[in-house]
Amino acid sequence: MFAAIDAWWAANAAAGRASLLMGYSFGKAQRLLAGVNASIGPIVVHGAVETVNAAYRAAGVALPPTHRAHELGRDDLKRALVVAPPSVHGSAWLKRFGDVADAFASGWMQLRGTRRRRGVDRGFVLSDHADWPGLQRAIGASGAERVIVTHGYEAVMVRWLREQGLDAGSFRTEYGDETLDDAAPAAVTDAA
């Protein structure tokens, strides 16, 4: 998938067109940044993405160099990869880049018609969902004593975690199908 993103970005850069790659600011954008070939051109990130990038970098996660849009000249912006949350689509913030090719990275891109409904040129399949055994291994490997669950079968996972002796609860979000970005989460709850 990253080879396809790199090819798309390189073709757009060669044509003098910025490449807007939309992905959620927390986690998805950083996976995208870690996987692309930064030698193709400059990488510009939205402020919401850069805030999370700073936390990742502080934790020792290697990410390629990124810029804010105001730091680059017009010619650099025309060949940049722009990583931003979906909320920028059609926004005034995006106008500074001129003509852009746009794409969305999500597991939802597997579903027929999603790219068209999103109104983007390209869709790249990149899911953040894991299966049950994968989640169990990841939680065990983390050494966490407290786990907060979001999405999916929250009550089932919380019950299993508690049976394993962990302090567990669920974190309800305002969105269930990842169609909204940066929605304000509700409080952590104790699921039975």
Task: Give the residue with greater pLDDT, 3 vs 24.
Answer: 3
**What's the pTM?**
0.69
Label residues 35-68 b or e (16+ Cβ within 10 Å = b): ebeeebbbbbbbebbbebbeebeeeeeebeebbe
Judged against a pLDDT cut of 70, whether residue 163 lies above it is answered with: yes
Structure tokens at 32: 């995208």
Q: Per-residue confidence at 188, pLDDT binned at 50, 70, 90?
A: very low
SS3 23: coil
The lowest-confidence range among 5-14, 82-91, 175-184 is 175-184
Taking only the tens place, the pLDDT of each residue in 130-162 is: 677 778 888 899 999 999 888 777 888 899 999
**Do 107 and 171 reside in the same domain of the chain?**
no
pLDDT confidence of residue 129: 67
Q: Per-residue confidence at 115, pLDDT binned at 50, 70, 90?
A: low
**Do 83 and 46 reside in the same domain of the chain?**
yes
Judged against a pLDDT cut of 80, whether residue 1 lies above it is answered with: yes
pLDDT confidence of residue 16: 96
Based on the structure, what is the number of domains in the chain?
A: 2
Alpha carbon distance 44, 139 (integer Å) = 33
Angle at 177 between CA 153 and CA 94, to 5 degrees: 145
Q: Per-residue confidence at 114, pLDDT binned at 50, 70, 90?
A: low
Pair 45, 67: CB distance under 8 Å: yes
**Do 89 and 150 reside in the same domain of the chain?**
no
Domain limits for position 62: 2-124
**Do 116 and 46 reside in the same domain of the chain?**
yes
